[in-house]
Structure 1
Amino acid sequence: MALKFESSVKHIPASQERVYNKLSNLDNLQPIRERLAEVKNQLDGKIEDLTFDNDSLTIKVQGINLTLRIVEREPMKCIKFEGDKTPIPLNLWIQILPVTEEEAKIKVTIGADVNMFMKAMVSKPLQEGAEKLADMLTKIPY
């Protein structure tokens, strides 16, 4: 059963191009990793570690490593990720749209392929994950 979880639309005080350029190369997220120690307490210990390179991001959540790889970049508009050896088939995409020359809006969508039994277990965490990721993306300096 294919499920889709969408964040609310978030505004970022930066141009669509700056947001895309920052997020399409995951090496640009080094400041987030440096701040992870500061925010771990706010996340109730859910995120234990974060590693990344240009095309992939691995998050250690409650002892489980989740790796997302960029599988498609649509310049200025969208970055698509796919789960790599994740417990359930998973994909994620970040949509970026212009509002003005110096403001963009984003939305995070998570797709998961689960059975009916798993749906009850994963729906709430994945919806919260989409929303928290979108919130986190608004806090990055672009």
Structure 2
Amino acid sequence: MAIQFESNVKHISYSQERVYGVLSDLNNMERMRDKLDEMKSKLEGKIEDMSFDRDSLSIKVQGINLTLRIIEREPMKCIKFEGDKTPIPMNLWIQILPVSEEESKIKVTIRAEVNMFMKAMVSKPLQEGVEKLAETLARIPY
């Protein structure tokens, strides 16, 4: 059974092109290490480690290693990820839309394949996670 979670739409004070340029190459996350560390502290130690390269992001959450790999880039509009070595099959995508020449908005979506028993266990953490990710992405200085 596929379940899907969407964040609220977040406004960003940077152009669609600039936001896409940063997020489509995950090596750019290194320059945002301060914001990522801030996010880690807000999650009260749930995130233990985080690393990235151009096409993947790996995090250790409460002893579980998760890797998300970019599987598709739709220039300026969308970046799609697929779970690699995740406990449940999942996809994540970040949609970026223009508001004006100097402003854009984003929405983060997660779709996971789970059985009925797992749905009750993962629904709340996935919804919270998608919202926190969108909030963090909206605060990054692009």
Matched length: 142
- For 1:108 and 1:118, how far apart are their aligned partners in 2? 22
Q: CA RMSD in A?
A: 1.1
**Conservation of the 8 A alpha-carbon contact between 1:3 and 1:112:** yes
Secondary structure of 1:71's counterpart equals strand
Secondary structure of 1:40's counterpart equals helix
How much does 1:42 deviate? 1.8
- For 1:38 and 1:107, how far apart are their aligned partners in 2? 21
Amino acid aligned to 1:119: K
- For 2:138 and 2:98, how far apart are their aligned partners in 1? 14
- What percentage of residue pairs aligned between the two structures are identical? 75
Q: TM-score, normalised by structure 1?
A: 0.96
List per-residue Cα deviations over 1:75-101 (Å, max 9, x = no partner). Answer: 000000000010000110000000000
Matched, 1:106 2:106: yes
- For 1:82 and 1:65, how far apart are their aligned partners in 2? 14
- For 1:41 and 1:134, how far apart are their aligned partners in 2? 16
Partner residue in 1 for 2:132: 132
Partner residue in 1 for 2:55: 55
- For 2:39 and 2:17, how far apart are their aligned partners in 1? 28
- For 2:36 and 2:80, how far apart are their aligned partners in 1? 23
**Conservation of the 8 A alpha-carbon contact between 1:4 and 1:109:** yes
Matched, 1:18 2:21: no
Partner residue in 2 for 1:32: 32
Gap regions ≥5 residues in structure 1: none
- For 1:32 and 1:84, how far apart are their aligned partners in 2? 23
How much does 1:8 deviate? 0.1
Secondary structure of 1:127's counterpart equals helix
